[in-house]
Amino acid sequence: MGRSLTGRRCILTGASSGIGRAIAGELARAGVRLVLTARSTDKLATLEQELQTQTEVLSIPADVTSSADRERLIADAVARFGGLDLLVHVAGIASFGHFATSTEAINRQILETNFFAPIELTRLAMPHLTQGNDPRICYLTSMCGRRGMPAWPEYSASKFALVGMAEAFRAEFVRFGVGVTTIVPGLTQTDLNQHMLRNEGKMNIPFGQGMTPEYVAQRTVAAIQQGRREVVLGSEAKKMLLMNRFFPRLLNRLIARRVRQLYAVP
């Protein structure tokens, strides 16, 4: 049985689509007062209108990689609700393709969005969270944040960094009474593959067979309610990370063999 989230004040990034949109719905049904942010003004406005029948909602279009936008987001949220209890980070981007054919610009953009943006938003939010009601931060990461995968090098690095920072925060923030939850999902039915910075990998990834955003959202909100530290979602993610823990050399060989097969010269 988890704690009640009714009346809690939350900033949710990446709220306009996919997992973020689904989490917004789950939080609204739990009675959370929401500040929704993403870059898409139209989608945010539509979502705000849909959720207003369930809870108090404020949508703030913003680019989380912009320091000015982050400052405005925090200021407007606190001005509207008088404080902050939850910070849920979902916004992220990816690139599918091998590092040798990638660029410095792609590397930097992914790190800016997936790592620096949520970390610096956390820095701005902390003075308000420490004064909040049972405050908690939740980071949506990836199984690539626990096991780096070929053709996802920049994405893996950004999620590894976020997972590592979350672990450090968890120990640091305990003296302030701020909890930290890390969600580590596997394959999910999102539109991530339609918005990647590049899509050049050879492996067929069946996104349509993954978990639904609604399932990930339900488990994420449950983890927040229960005060969980880290939750791995998806059978393939659990199997992969279990194998990585107990049989890392075998997993390395299997992945290497698959890469050689995909890139073998006919």
End-to-end CA, the chain: 57
The number of angstroms, rounded, from the C-alpha of 183 to the middle of its chain's C-alpha atoms is 7
R_g over Cα of the chain: 18
Q: Based on the number of CB atoms within 10 Å of its own CB, is 209 exposed (0-12), middle (13-18) or buried (19 or more)?
A: exposed
- 139 catalytic? Reply is no
Catalytic residue among 139, 155, 215, 263: 155
CA distance 262 to 258: 6
Nearest alpha carbon to residue 90 among 144, 13, 37, 154: 13
- What positions carry a catalytic annotation? 155
